[in-house]
Amino acid sequence: MENRIEELNKIFSEVFGDKNLELNRETSASDIDKWDSLTNMHLIVAIEDFYKIRFELQEIQSLQNVGELCDYVDRYLAD
């Protein structure tokens, strides 16, 4: 699980161009300045591309924080 956050951390840093970003399960869009509806899909597709998975739009829209994102990724990878 810790691993997953680190992987995501790397993707987030790359998308937002911020090497100092430190994610935890509670991190949400309101904690990261650049994480808004304009950059959200870029981030999501970067994650899809990394894990070779595909999210449903409704799931993306209901995401509340990084913890839920981790759980989604885990569930997709388990399937």
Partner 1 sequence: MLFNSYIFIFCFLPLVLLGFFICQKLKYQYLSLLWLISSSLFFYAWWNTKYLLLIIFSVLINFALGSLIEKIRRKSLLVFGLFFNLGLIGYYKYANFFVDNLNTILASNIHLHKVILPLAISFFTFQQIVYLVDAYRGQTKQYKFLHYCLFVTFFPQLIAGPIVHHKEMIPQFNLGKFYNLRFKNLAIGLSIFAIGLFKKIVIADGISIYATPMFDAAEINVQLTFFEAWFGTLAYSMQLYFDFSGYSDMAIGLARMFGLKLPVNFYSPYKALNIADFWRRWHITLSRLIREYLWDPVSLNLTRLGFKYKLGTVTFFVLATIIPTLFTFFWIGLWHGAGWDFIIFGLLHGSYIVLFNIWSKIKQNFPKIKFIRNRYISTSIAWSITFLSVAIGWVFFRAESINGAKNVLSAMFGYNQISLPPGLLGNLGSFEKVLVENGFVFQGMFSNGVLGNDPFIAIQLVFLLIGSCLVLPNCQQIFARYKPYISTYPNVKISYPRWLLWRPTLKWGFLSVVFFSLAILSINKESEFLYFQF
- Binding region for partner 1 (CB under 8 A): 16-18, 30, 34, 36-38, 40-42, 44-46, 48-49, 57-58, 60-61
Between 2 and 38, whose beta carbon lies closer to partner 1? 38
Residues 6+ apart with CB under 8 A from 25: 5, 65, 66, 67, 70
CB of 64 to partner 1, least distance (A): 13
CB of 2 to partner 1, least distance (A): 27
Distance of CA 48 to the CA centre of its chain: 9
Closest contact distance (angstroms) between CB of 34 and partner 1 is 7
Nearest to partner 1 of 1, 22 (CB atom): 22
Other residues' Cβ atoms within 10 Å of the Cβ of residue 52: 8
Residues 60, 75, 78, 8, CA torsion sign: positive
Give the nearer residue to partner 1 in terms of CB position, either 3 or 19: 19
DSSP conformation class of 56: -
